[in-house]
């Protein structure tokens, strides 16, 4: 029984600290985008999306393990135990990703995917430095990756680009960007110590912790309530099932509440918010 608990704990720690939450969240966005844009998706695009995000997250954790210790000691301790394996896993992930992109996708999707991968990796080594000079750069940069996924899906299946599809993908991308942007700002709160040491100009550092929580609550409430209503009930761009995403609000506020109490679990939960979206949308298809 004890050995089973050890294995279970190892799997849980890997899932939480290894970047899998965010990577599966990206795959969840693609799944939801398929439903809302009426594109029939297959398992391969979900797997490829997961790898596209997992590789940069794994690389980032490996490169910043010393700095990360200031605000994520538990994650750092876990990663240190497997540090020698991370480069091998990283290159294996890259290999599997490229093979799958070549085999399953078309030329445009291959280029799109490789650009996401390259710029995702370059953030850690090149572009993160811009956060020292440009306010919001880190949050905007990461959010753009999540927001690009509806367009990656369209390119992946080489869908005919009608005005309606372009408009729908653009509007959905803006909504995803808004939610991802708020999530990134919230996650920056836990990194105040390490980001301040690196002299990064993040929102929580610039305005303070308490104001960050207050403004996040206000903007999250406005965006999460109004956007799905406008997109479904008034403009009819998306089906009514998108209204179910309003139910992410209690989840978000619960995460905020945990973080205010200095509980790291609140940040872990929030980083996996996009995992809720497929379940809510699928329930919405049934009841709405």
Q: Does 61 score more than 90 pLDDT? A: no
| pLDDT at site 12 | 79
91-98: average pLDDT: 95
| pLDDT at site 25 | 95
Contact, 23 vs 65, CB < 8 A? no
Q: How far apart are CA 142 and CA 129, in angstroms?
A: 14
Q: In the structure encoding, which two tokens stand for residue 196, read together?
A: 């301040």
| pLDDT at site 68 | 66
| pLDDT at site 97 | 96
Q: How far apart are CA 67 and CA 74, in angstroms?
A: 13
> CB-side exposure of 38: number of CA atoms within 13 Å?
9
Q: How far apart are CA 52 and CA 117, in angstroms?
A: 6
Q: In the structure encoding, which two tokens stand for residue 155, read together?
A: 């390119």
Write the DSSP string, 167-231: HHHHHHHHHHHHHHHHHHHHHHHHTHHHHHHTT---HHHHH-HHHHHHHHHHHHHHHHHHHHHII
Contact, 270 vs 189, CB < 8 A? no
- Percent of the chain past pLDDT 70, that is, above it, reads 96
Q: How far apart are CA 127 and CA 137, in angstroms?
A: 9
Confidence of residue 64 (pLDDT cuts 50, 70, 90): confident
159-179: average pLDDT: 91
> CB-side exposure of 9: number of CA atoms within 13 Å?
7
272-278: average pLDDT: 95
Name the residue ranges covered by the structural domains of the chain. 20-287
- Alpha-helical segments (H) within the chain: 2-17, 20-36, 43-63, 65-68, 73-81, 86-104, 107-125, 137-147, 149-156, 163-190, 192-197, 203-207, 209-229, 248-260, 265-271, 276-287
More confident site: 4 or 199:
199
Question: Whole-number mean pLDDT of the chain?
Answer: 89
| pLDDT at site 70 | 62
Choose among 237, 221, 235: nearest CA to 169. Answer: 237
**Torsion angle of the four alpha carbons 8, 10, 12, 16, in this order, in degrees rounded to the nearest 10:** 180
Please list, residue by residue across 102-130, b when 16 or more beta carbons sit within 10 angstroms of its beta carbon and e when fewer do: eebbeeebbebbeebbebbbebbeeebee
Q: Write down how long the chain is.
A: 288
Q: How far apart are CA 216 and CA 211, in angstroms?
A: 8
49-76: average pLDDT: 80
In this prediction the pTM is 0.92
- Residue 134: how many other CB atoms lie within 10 Å: 14
212-219: average pLDDT: 94
| pLDDT at site 233 | 85
Q: How far apart are CA 259 and CA 262, in angstroms?
A: 5
């Amino acid at each position: 029984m004890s050995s089973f608990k050890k294995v279970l704990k190892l799997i849980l720690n890997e899932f939480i600290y290894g970047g899998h939450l965010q990577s599966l969240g990206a795959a969840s966005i693609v799944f939801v985008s398929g439903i809302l844009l009426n594109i029939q998706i297959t398992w391969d695009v979900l797997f490829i999306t997961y790898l596209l995000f997992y590789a940069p997250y794994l690389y980032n954790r490996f490169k910043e393990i010393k700095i990360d210790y200031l605000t994520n000691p538990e994650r750092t301790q876990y990663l240190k135990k497997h540090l020698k394996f991370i480069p091998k896993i990283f290159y294996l992930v890259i290999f599997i990703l490229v093979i799958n992109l070549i085999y399953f996708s078309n030329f445009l999707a291959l280029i799109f995917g490789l650009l996401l991968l390259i710029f995702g990796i370059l953030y850690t080594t090149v572009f993160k430095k811009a956060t020292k000079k440009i306010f919001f750069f880190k949050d905007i940069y990461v959010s753009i990756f999540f927001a690009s996924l509806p367009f990656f899906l369209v390119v992946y299946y080489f869908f005919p680009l009608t005005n309606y599809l372009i408009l729908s993908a653009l509007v959905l991308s803006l909504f995803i960007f808004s939610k991802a942007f708020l999530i990134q700002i919230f996650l920056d709160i836990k990194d105040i110590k390490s980001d301040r040491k690196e002299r990064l100009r993040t929102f929580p550092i610039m305005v303070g912790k308490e104001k960050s929580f207050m403004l996040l609550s206000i903007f999250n409430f406005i965006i999460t309530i109004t956007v799905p209503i406008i997109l479904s009930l008034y403009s009819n761009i998306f089906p009514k099932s998108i209204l179910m995403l309003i139910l992410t609000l209690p989840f978000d506020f619960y995460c905020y509440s945990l973080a205010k109490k200095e509980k790291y679990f609140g940040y872990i939960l929030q980083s996996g918010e996009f995992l809720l979206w497929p379940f809510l949308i699928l329930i919405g298809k049934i009841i709405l």
